[in-house]
Amino acid sequence: MSAPAIQGFHTDIVSGSTLTPNSSITAQWTITGINTGFDTCYLAVRPLNDLRSDTAFVAQADPHPQCGSGSAIIVIPEQSLNSTFPFNNLMVIVRLNTPYHIYADSTLFKINETYTAPWDRSEQLAKEANGIAGSSLQVAKGVAEDSHRNYQVGLAGLVIAALSFVLACVALCYEWYNA
């Protein structure tokens, strides 16, 4: 008999979507390489920032008594089942845990107390501008560290870094305003 493996773990979640209380998630799976007995699998919505703790879940389905293959529905409760992880744009996955020391994860999604647009354009542009700004500041820092050797090169580098930061901010504002 081959080693246990999870095949065909599917959820009806689109990556990047935002769910709210009373939303439901359907999961289906098949485990190969085991005697399809009556071992129990657990299906839970887990926060991305704590995938190791056994109590770190915010929603769960009833334990599934026939782990070999099955499906289950998780309904997002009104409040998180673990108060350490409130529904405040919480990044989560659905994880299938098995008694065979293997697990499967879904795509990444959010849970929020109320509906917000899923990772909209302005949020993506803000992430990009943050990356540009961070690069600009790294350039400025590197140039400033060398500026004690050559003041003019340091000053020119700072000006270039500042201009690239300002241009990134202007582009972000323009895109956000026209979105």
pLDDT digits 0-9 by tens, 11-68: 888 888 889 999 999 988 888 777 656 677 889 999 999 988 888 999 999 887 777 7
User: Would you say the pTM of this structure is higher than 0.95?
Assistant: no
Query: Residue 99: which residues within 8 A CB-CB, separation 6 or more?
Result: 39, 40, 41, 67
In angstroms, rounded to a whole number, what is the distance separating the alpha carbons of residues 84 and 15? 24
Query: Taking the domains of the chain in order of start, what are their residue ranges?
Result: 5-111, 121-178
Tell me which CATH code domain 5-111 carries: 2.60.40.1930
Q: Cα 111 to chain center, whole Å?
A: 10
Q: How confident is the model at residue 135 (pLDDT cuts 50, 70, 90)?
A: low
Q: Are 41 and 63 in contact (CB under 8 A)?
A: yes
**Angle in degrees, 0-180, between the axes of helices 121-146 and 151-178, rounded to the nearest 10:** 180
